[in-house]
Amino acid sequence: MLEFGRTQTVPLNGKQWTISRLTWGIIQKFKKYVSDLVGDPFAKIDNKYFDLFAKEEQLALLKEARETEEDLKCFSLQCPLAKKYMAREEGIAVFGQLMLLESHPDVTLDQAFDVWMAVGANPDTLAVAQGSYQGNAEGPADSR
């Protein structure tokens, strides 16, 4: 079942903050933010010191680069790369700002961070803003 997200209101410091529903555009802007920070996942491998690493370290760097590249290609807020950056304070502020911009175009990263900390105290608020999709796990009904 598909349930679209809905805007949510969070009171903080005497002001009502409206969190927009999660949209494709917000996800793509967060992806760009992450992508700009990550850069080329294979840049470490092209560095002149790569050959000096032990084989195990080289393999680990190659695996990490490949996983990062895959996460960027198939970006989702649930992928390891997105989760990594959403667990950081700056990522929280950026994502929060993206979710608040529609109703509060002048919101600062500091304000967004504070609102997102308040949202963290009530995870249901974010769940309603994000919406959900639960496909039919059983597949189509048998027509026999």
| Alpha helices (runs of H) in the chain, residue ranges in sequence order | 24-38, 55-73, 80-86, 89-100, 109-120, 123-130
Computed from CA positions of residues 136, 83, 97, 72, in that sequence, does the dihedral angle turn out positive or negative? negative
Per DSSP, 74 falls in state T
Q: What percent of the chain has pLDDT over 70?
A: 81
In this structure, the number of other CB atoms found within 10 A of the CB of residue 125 comes to 16
List, for residues 49-83, the tens digit of each pLDDT value. 888 888 999 899 899 999 999 999 999 999 999 99
Given the structure tokens 């009171």, which residue do they identify? Answer: 11
Q: What is the pTM of this model?
A: 0.76
Helices 24-38 and 89-100, packing angle to 10 deg: 150
The residue with greater pLDDT, 124 or 144, is: 124
Q: Which residues contact 111 (CB under 8 A, 6 or more apart)?
A: 100, 104
Region 116-121: mean pLDDT is: 84
- pLDDT at 131 (0 to 100): 63
Confidence of residue 141 (pLDDT cuts 50, 70, 90): very low
